[in-house]
Amino acid sequence: MERLHWVRHRCRQLLAGGSGRGWYSAPDGLPGKTSLDTHSSPRRASGKQRTVFARHGPPQQGFEAVSTSYEGNAICTTKYSLLTFIPMNLFQQFHRAANLYFLFLVLLNWVPVVEAFQKEITMIPLVVVLTVIAIKDALEDYRRYLFDRKINSNVVQVFCGEQKAYVDQCWKDVRVGDFVRLSCNDIIPADMLLLYSSDPRRVCYIDTANLDGETNLKQRQVVSDLPLQGEEFTAERFHCRVECEKPNNDLCRFRGYMEHPGGVRVGLHNGNLLLRSCTIRNTETVVGMVIYAGHETKAMMNNSGPRYKRSQLEKRLNTDVLWCVLLLIIMCLTAAVGHGLWLKNLKDPVFQVDTDTSPALAGFYVFWTMIIVLQVLIPISLYVSIEIVKLGQIYFIHHDLALYNEQLDCRIQCRALNITEDLGQIQYLFSDKTGTLTENKMVFRRCSIYGVEYPHEENARRLEVYEAEKMEAAGCSVTLKLGCSGRSLSGRSLSCKHSSVSLHTVTEEEEEEEEEDQPSNHIQHRTSAFCSRMTKEVVPDPELVRKLNWFCSPMLALSDGSSGTPSSLELTYITDFFLALAICNSVVVSSPSQPRHVVPETRTPLKSLEEIKLMFQRLSFSPLSALSSLSPPQIKGSPRSFTSRLFARGKTDTFTFSTPTNSTTDGSEPGRESNQETSNLRREVHSSSRVESGGDAEQMEDRETDDYIEGARTNPEGARQEVEGLTGDVDCERATDDELLYEAESPDEAALVHAAHAYRCTLRGRSAESLLVDLPGIGSLAVQLLHILPFDSNRKKMSVVVRHPLTGQVVVYTKGADSVIMDLTETPKGSEQAREIYSLIREQTQNHLDGYAREGLRTLCIAKKVLEEEEYEVWLKGQLLAESSIEHREELLLEAAQRLETNLTLLGTTGIVDRLQEEVPDTIEALQRAGIKVWILTGDKKETAINIAYACKLLCPNDQLLTASCGSKDACAALLEELKLEVQRGVDGLTGDPGESSSGGVGGFVLVLDGRTLDWALQEEPRSDFLELSRRCKAVICCRSTPLQKSKVVRLIRDQLGVMTLAVGDGANDVSMIQVADVGVGICGQEGMQAVMSSDFAVSRFKHLRKLLLVHGHWCYSRLANMILYFIYKNVMYVNLLFWYQFFCGFSGSVMTNAWVLILFNLIFTSVPPLIYGVLDRDTAAHTLMELPELYREVQTSEVYAPYMFWITVLDAFYQSLICFFVPYFAFRGSSVSELSFGSPINASALLIVLLHQVIESHTLTWIHVLVLVLSGGSYFGFVLLFSLFCVTCSPPTNPVGVETLEMSQPLFYIVCALTTVTALLPRLLFRALYNTLHPSAVLEPARMDKVDSEKYRRKMQRWNLSRSRDNRLRLCADHPGLEPSTASVVS
C-alpha cells in the first residue's frame, strides 16, 4: 500500500504541475540541485534583506507583495518523480566516466565495420551496472519520500485570521508571516521570531540536539520593547514589520530589526530566533512569527549530506588508469599496424578476405575493433569495487569493540565514506589541547585575589582522592542504565541510540551519585551539563573562608592572630571577585522539581537594616549613602568611594524571583593560614590600605579589631567554636542548595559558578533582565542585567554589564584570557600609595598566573569597571545602533565591546585543573614511533601547554625546547633563522632527521610559538624559514592560537610540504582546522557536537586514534592497495591472452572463446574474490600493529603501492599470460582442434591462475575466502558446461555446442590446465617464500602471535558476554547486531 500511495502521490504531483516537488531545493551555492518551482526559489528575493509582515495583520498589501517570493514550509528532499526517474537517473549516472566509457563501447560495437561481438552482449556490463545503481537510487529516494511525508504531516497550531483563533495545520501549510503557538516538548516547525512566552521572565528554553547535537538547554528571549508586554499575545494587534537578512546556514547568527508603527526600531539577534527542528523545553506556551520556512530554514540549509573527499590512493589510481589507457592504445595500434601489414603481404588467400578495403583503412577499422575486444584492460569496474570495499571496511571499523565507549554507549562514527585508506598515510597530526588531550571536565583548583594566593590544599587532596577512586574503578565495567535515566535532557549523541542522558553529564561519579541520592518519593532527578561531583564539591580555602566570615559576622576574629583583619579594600576585591564568578556567564539555573527553571517559593527575608549598617560600619562604608537611594551621590576622592565598588546597582522591587534561604560555607577549616609569602603580601597591602584611609573612624575600627584579636588570643577555643557555628549551618541547608542545577555552555563556566557557590556567592536565578544572587552576609540580591557581551575568539573574554541594587552604579564584570585582561587593566588615579598597591597586586597576580601555568592549570583573569552614567549612556547608543544593524553587525558589536572593555580593575585570577584523558601519553608515544609528527595547537598559555606536553610525553626530558616569542616581523624572521641554524648544528652531530626521533631515543627539538609570533611566521617572507624549522623539529606547540591561525597552520603544512595531515579537536573553535586537514577527527566531548558534525571520523576519546590509525589505517590502506594491484593484474593478464591470439589470426580482432565467457569473466566469475580480499585481508595482526607502531611506516610511505609496484604487477601479468597462452598452444600445435576447443583450456587455466594468485597474495585465509573461491570456480565451469549443452545459436557465427563437454572429457585438458597453472604461479610462489624468509618479523611472527591473540580475544568476549548477561540490561549484541562476537573477532 505504501508503494501505491507513493505512485499516486507522484501522479498527482505531475498533474498539478509546477509544484516543485520531486526535486531537491538545495540551499544557495550547492551544485547539482535545482528547483522547478519558480515561485519558491530563494534566489527570487531581491536585495540583501528580507521583509516580513504578519500574514493576518493589517498591512495585507505588504504581506501579499513579499510573500510570493518566499518558500512554503513543505520540504522535499527526493530527487525524482515517477515519470522523471528513468531520464533523470540515467542523466546523473552518465556523468560518471565509467558509464560513459561503457556507453561508448556499446555504440562503437553497433558500427558494422568494427563490430566485434553481438550487439546485445556488449550491452550486458552497462545494463547490469545501470540497473543495480538505479534500484539503489530508487530505494533511497523512496525512503526520503516517506520521511518527507512524515515531517510535512506533523501538526502545529497556526493562527487563522478568519476564525480569530489558533487551528491545527500541517507543517507543510505553514507560511512566512504565520503566527505559530507551541507548547512544551513541541518541535519547532520553522525558523520563528519569539514574540511571546508564558514564562514571566519572557524567556523560553530550547533543546538543539536535533540541530547541532548539543544537549544543554539554550535560552531564548522575547523580542524586547514589544507592545502588550505582560499580556496574552494577540495576533490581530501585531502591526510591526520585520527586516532581516536573507536565508543563510549560519546557526549562530541572525541580524535584523523590528519596526513598530511609530517608526521605532528594535534590534533582533540570534537569541530571539527559534530554529526549526529544535524542541521547546520547560516552557508552557510560546508564540512566534515565521521568518524562514521550508528549505530556507537554517536547519535545511545545513543539511548538505555526507562529506566527500578524494583519497590520495584514488589520485594515484587515476595515474595508473592512464597508464592502462596508454597500454590499450599501444596494443590496438600494434594490432592495426599488424593487420595492415598482413593484408598487404597476403598472397593468394585460401579463405575469404575483403580485398576492396585498403590495408590502411582495414587497419583503422581493426584499431577500433580491438578497442572493443580489449575493453577490460581499463579497470573502470575497479572504481565500483573500491566503493563496495570501503563500505565493508567502514562496517568493521564501526563495529570494533575497542573503539566503543561503554560509558557513553557510543561508537566511532565514520562520516566520510571514501577516505578510510588515508588513515594509513598520516604524517602530521594537529591536535587541540582542551577536551582533546584533556578531559575538559574543569575543576576549580585555586585562585588569587587582591594579589594574595589561596592554594586550596584541601581541594587538591580531594582531587587526588577522586583520581585514586577512578583508577581503582578503571578495571570495573561501568555500564549505563539504558532506558531508565530520569534526566530530562535529550541524549541525541554520537551513534547513541538508547541513552537518554547528555554527553556532557555522563561520568562514573554521577552514576554512583544517582544511585545513592535517589529520593524516597521517586521524584526523578535531572542533572545538568558539567555538574559532576568532582566539579561541584569544591573545598574552600580556610584563609579565604576566614575573611569572608569576618565580613559576615562582627563578632568573629582571627584564630591565630598572626596578622590584622583584612582591609575594606581587600574585602571589596574578594566580594567583587566571587560576584563576578557568579554572574559573568550565561549559566541557566534550574532545579529538579521546577520544570521552568524557577527557584522554589521558599525564601528568607533580606538581612535587617541594622545588620547591614553594622556590616558597613566595619567596612568604613556609609550605610546611609548605600541605602538612601537607588542612585546615591558618590564623593569623588573619598577613600570610601573605592570600597563602595563592592556592589553594583539594580531595582530590587522590579525582580520577580523569590528569595531562597541563605547558605554558609561548607567544609571549610577556619584558622588555616596560607604560606608565609602570601601572609607578608597581605599584611603589606593591608597596612598600605589602612594608611591611605586614615581618620578617626579607622582608628576606632582598629581598636575594635584589636579587642577581637585579643579575645581570640585569650580564648582561641571560643573563637574556633564561633567559626564552626557559622559554617555548621550548611549541613541543614545543603539539600536546598544542592538542588540548584546549572546548565552551562562550557565546563569553565560551570567550574567557576560552583566555586562561587562554595563560598556562598550563589547564583539562584536568571531572567533576560535580572539575576538573583546570594552574597555572603547580605542574602539574596536582585541584580539588574543590562547587557551580556558573550565570549568570542577575537576578544578572548566575556563581560556582563549590571546595575547594582545597593550603590546604583553601572558595573562591568569581565573574565577572559590573562594575555588580554592584563593589557586592558589600568593603574587607578589617586595617591602614589594607591598606585603602588595596585602595581604590587598586578605583579603578584602575574607571578601567580605563571605558577598556575607551570602546573598545567587553565587560567582566567577577573576584572571590573565602574561606569559613570554619562559614559554608559554614550556607550549604550553605539551598542543599540550595532544591535539594530543588519550590515556589518558583528564588526559594530566588536567595536562597541572593545570601547567598553578598557581601563579595567584587576580583581584576581583562577586556576582550573583539566586532567589528561586516559592513555594519552601512550597514544602520543605510539604515534611518534609510527613516524607521525604531533603538533599541539591551543589557545592556552605557553607554560600550560608545555606542562601538558610533558605530561602526555610529547616532550621528553632529553628534548631541547626552542621558544619563539617576538613582537615584530623582523625580529621573528631573525629568530627563526637563528633557531634554524641551531637545529642544523644539532643535526650535524646526529644521524637521521631529528623529527624522527622517538621518545625513547635521542632527544629532538621541540618548537614553541605564541600567537603573535605565529602570525608573523605565517606571512610570506618568514614562511620558508618556519617551514624548514618545523620540519626539522620533533614537535611544535602553538600557544595562544586562534581558530583562524589553526586552520592556516594546517593548510600551510599540507600544501607546502605535500604531506597527509590529520586534525583532531572537540569544539567549535576546531571546526576550521578539522575541515582544512586531509582527515578531520572530532572528539565527542564537553563542547557540543560542532566538531563531530564537521569531521570525517568521530571518536569519544583521544586514545582511540591509536587503533584507528595504526591498525585500521594500516589495514585499509594495505587492503585497498593490494586489491587495486590485483585488479590491474587480473585485467592485464586476461586481456593479453586475447592479444597473443592476434598474432595467429592476422590481427583481425577475432577471439578464441565465445563472447559470453569473455564478458562474464570479469563481470561475474572473478568479481567477488577481490571484494572479499579487500575487506577481510590482514597482513599483520592487530596486537602486533599496536605493539610495533613502526610497522605503520610501511603504509605511510606508500611502499605497498609504490609506482614501481604497478609495473612489476604488469610485467608479472605479461609473464603469466604468455605461459597461459603458449603452453596450451604448444600442447595442441599441429592438431585439428577448433578455435573454441583451443580457447577452453586457456580460459580454465586463466581462471585457476587468477584465483590461486589471490590465495598466494592473501595474508588471511578463512572459510569465507574458501567459499567464495569455490563458488567463483564452480560458477565458471557450471556456466560453460550448460552453455555447451543447450546453447546452439547463442554466440554466432560460432557454435559452442559440445565443445566444453568434449574438452573436459579428455585427460589432456586437465594436464594442460595443471601444467599451465603451476608454471605461471611458480615464480610468484618462490618470490613470496623468499620474501617471508628474509622478513620473518613482518609476517611469520605476527602470524604466530595472531593465534595467541585470537584465543585471548575469544576468552575476553566470553567474559564480557558473561558479565553483560548477569546484568538486567540489554546485551551489546542485541542493541547493535553488528557487534556479534564472531564478526568482531574478524576485525580485532
- Compute the distance between CA of residue 1337 and CA of residue 1342 in angstroms, rounded to an integer: 7
List strand residue ranges (DSSP E) for 541-605, in order.
588-590
* Burial of 1365 (C-beta count, 10 Å sphere; 0-12/13-18/19+): exposed
Nearest to 1180, CA basis, from 1344, 1046, 966: 1344
Find the largest Cα–Cα distance for the chain. 138
The label of the residue with cell 585485467 reads: 1131
838-875: b (≥16 Cβ within 10 Å) or e: bebbeebbbebbebbbeebbbbbbbbbbbbeeeebeeb
Whether cis (ω within 30° of 0) applies to the bond prior to 1323 is no
Distance (Å, whole) CA 1181 – CA 1178: 7
Q: Among 1167, 1076, 1311, which Cα is nearest to 428's?
A: 1076
- Nearest-CA neighbor of 758 among 781, 734, 739, 778? 734
**Secondary structure (DSSP) of 1290-1346:** SSTTS--TTHHHHHTTSHHHHHHHHHHHHHHHHHHHHHHHHHHHH-TTTTHHHHHHH
Sheet holding 443-449, edge to edge: 452-454, 443-449, 905-913, 858-867, 810-816, 797-803, 779-789, 770-775, 762-766
Distance CA 591, CA 1090 (A): 28
In which order are the strands placed within the sheet that holds 1097-1099? 413-414, 1097-1099, 1079-1083, 1061-1065, 428-431, 933-937, 1035-1038, 1005-1009, 960-964
Q: Write the CB contacts of 1235 (distance below 8 Å, at least 6 apart in sequence).
A: 1150, 1152, 1294
Half-sphere exposure of 15 (CA within 13 A, CB side): 6
In degrees, to the nearest 5, what angle opens at C-alpha 1241 toward C-alphas 1236 and 1244? 110
Q: Are 1007 and 919 in contact (CB under 8 A)?
A: no
**Contacts (Cβ under 8 Å, ≥6 apart) of 1381:** 1354, 1357, 1361, 1373
Catalytic-role residue among 186, 207, 400, 432: 432
DSSP per-residue codes, 1039-1106: -S--HHHHHHHHHHHHHHH---EEEEE-SGGGHHHHHHSSEEEEE-SSS-SHHHHT-SEEESSTTHHH
Q: Which three cell numbers stand for residue 287?
A: 508564540
| Residues in Cβ contact with 1162 at an 8 Å cutoff, skipping those fewer than 6 apart | 376, 381, 1130, 1131, 1134
Distances (CA, A) of 361 to 375, 1158, 1323: 21, 27, 42
Contacts 24+ apart (CB under 8 A), 391-396: 391/417, 392/1171, 392/1174, 392/1175, 393/420, 393/1112, 393/1115, 393/1116, 393/1119, 393/1174, 393/1175, 394/420, 395/1378, 396/1112, 396/1175, 396/1383, 396/1386, 396/1387
d(CA 667, CA 489): 31
Cβ count within 10 A of residue 1016: 23
DSSP annotation of 95 reads T
37 is catalytic: no
- The residues assigned a catalytic role are 432
